Amino acid sequence: MRVGYIQTSPVFGEKEKNFENIDKIISKNKADILVLPELFATGYTFSSKNEVNSLSENLEGKTAKFLINLAKKTKGLIIGGYVEKSKNKLYNSAMIVSQKGILGNYRKLHLYYKEKLWFSPGDLPLQVYKFKEINIGVMICFDWFFPETTRTLALLGADIIAHPANLVLPYCQNAMVTRCLENKVYAVTSNRVGSEKRGEDNFQFTGKSQITSYNGDILSSAPIEEPFIDLVDIELENVRDKSINAYNHIFKDRQIQFYF
């Protein structure tokens, strides 16, 4: 099973240009699962809700069509972030797409900073999607800060967590080692690079997209400042065995009656 990420530097508001840049990066690479950053087609630093609305789409928009075509090229599953509009609400969302069409849609549960001004919090349950023999969970960026997100996806049977991101805090890449280790799952964190100064905000994105193993090993780490693509081969046998040793099991040993 080959999984990977594309790390990009999007131009704010220029969807077609951002699509073209990804096409150039992907070249002839094939992957079973490929993760793109959060809001990869639009950029991140919005200045008004009207601006967010103008860049929003539904599941039949330009971004969906681009992702389906990308899935046809890679022969695999693509997960990428976009601005979703549904019933007059705006969401920071991610599509799960194969060459046959859209398998699912996830809306970010935990909104960061001014995202709370632009987006509604996600209202869809966490879910695991099956593609070939692998089970894929999805979370977006700041969701990593809440261990319940990864644990819930692991309890639902996720083998790997696709993690589109636009990270500005310096902690996530290290924290994903713990998230993967405590749940025995793989994770593909696809971050962006570059800076975006708009209005009062000037964000510097941290790059360093990362593929993290179920045992805490970092299988791939991207540069801090450059667009990048990487693919690695993973195996599923050990990830589905949640035992630590003959006596400890990470799910069965939980004392949930004492948890809040």
Give the pLDDT score at 28: 82
Task: Tell me what pLDDT residue 93 has.
Answer: 98
**What separation, in Å, do the N-terminal and C-terminal C-alpha atoms of the chain show?**
37
Selected catalytic residue, list 38, 57, 84, 115:
38
* C-alpha torsion 24→30→33→39, nearest 10: 10
In the residue annotation, 38 being an active-site residue is answered as yes
Question: What is the rounded distance in angstroms from the CA atom of residue 71 to the CA atom of residue 68?
Answer: 5
Q: Pseudo-torsion of CA 31, 32, 37, 41, nearest 10°?
A: 80
Within 10 angstroms of residue 260's Cβ, the number of other Cβ atoms is 2
User: Is the CATH number of domain 2-258 3.60.110.10?
Assistant: yes
Tell me whether residue 141 is one of the annotated catalytic residues: yes
Q: Is residue 108 flagged as an active site residue?
A: yes
Q: Which of 15, 57, 84, 108 is catalytic?
A: 108
Supply the pLDDT for residue 140.
Answer: 99
Q: Show pLDDT as tens, one digit a residue, over the chain (260 residues).
A: 999 999 999 999 999 999 999 999 998 889 999 999 999 999 999 999 999 999 999 999 999 999 999 999 999 999 999 999 999 999 999 999 999 999 999 999 999 999 999 999 999 999 999 999 999 999 999 999 999 999 999 999 999 999 999 999 999 999 999 999 999 999 999 999 999 999 999 999 999 999 999 999 999 999 999 999 999 999 999 999 999 999 999 999 999 999 99
* Marked catalytic residue, from 57, 115, 141, 208: 141
User: How does DSSP assign 173-213, residue by residue?
Assistant: HHHHHHHHHHHT-EEEEE-B-SEEEETTEEEE-----EEE-
The secondary structure of 139-182 as a DSSP string is --GGGGGSHHHHHHHHHTT-SEEEEE----SS-HHHHHHHHHHH
**Cβ-proximal residues to 103 (8 Å cutoff; 6+ apart), any chain:** 77, 96, 97, 129, 131
